[in-house]
């Protein structure tokens, strides 16, 4: 008997924010914490907590560098994280009955602004 696709889903990617984080990193290969926070419209605390969970699970690599005295945190996928992401994506597509197709650099990454982009997100900081 074959394994049902739900059994191949990666538990750490079942939370919507963690799924969004990984999808954004995969689409950009590497992203700063600040860019990720602004793109996802979440608080620093929420993003930090979920990034820590993904790092502990071995899916994401978090590196800190300093520019002067300012810390810059950058996130990227680990090799194991990329494999597990692809497995999760394939299992999810099978579960909902859609073709997985290749994940390529030409696929949209969700950067297009939604129709209601003029409405600020409650956690997003205003830019001056």
Q: Please give the pLDDT value at position 100.
A: 74
Q: Please give the pLDDT value at position 63.
A: 96
Q: Please give the pLDDT value at position 78.
A: 96
Token reading at 62: 């978090």
115 within domain boundaries:
no
121 within domain boundaries:
no
Q: Print the domain residue range for 35.
A: 16-96
pTM of the model: 0.74
Domain tally for the chain?
Answer: 1
116 within domain boundaries:
no
Average pLDDT over residues 28-48: 96
Question: Which residue, 83, 72, 89, 76, is CA-closest to 34?
Answer: 72
Burial class (CB in 10 A: 0-12, 13-18, 19+), 74: middle
Q: What is the CATH number of the domain that holds 56?
A: 1.10.10.10
22 within domain boundaries:
yes
- In this predicted structure, the answer to whether residue 90 has a pLDDT above a threshold of 90 is yes
């Amino acid at each position: 008997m074959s394994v049902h696709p739900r059994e191949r889903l990666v538990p750490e990617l079942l939370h919507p924010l963690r799924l969004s984080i990984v999808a954004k990193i995969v689409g950009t290969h590497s992203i700063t914490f600040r860019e990720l926070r602004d793109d996802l419209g979440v608080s620093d605390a929420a993003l930090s907590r979920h990034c820590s969970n993904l790092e502990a699970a071995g899916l994401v690599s978090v590196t800190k560098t300093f520019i002067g005295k300012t810390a810059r945190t950058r996130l990227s996928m680990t090799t194991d994280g990329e494999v597990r992401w692809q497995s999760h994506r394939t299992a999810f597509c099978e579960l909902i009955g859609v073709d997985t197709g290749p994940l390529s650099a030409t696929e949209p990454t969700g950067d297009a602004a939604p129709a209601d982009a003029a409405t600020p997100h409650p956690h997003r900081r205003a830019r001056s």
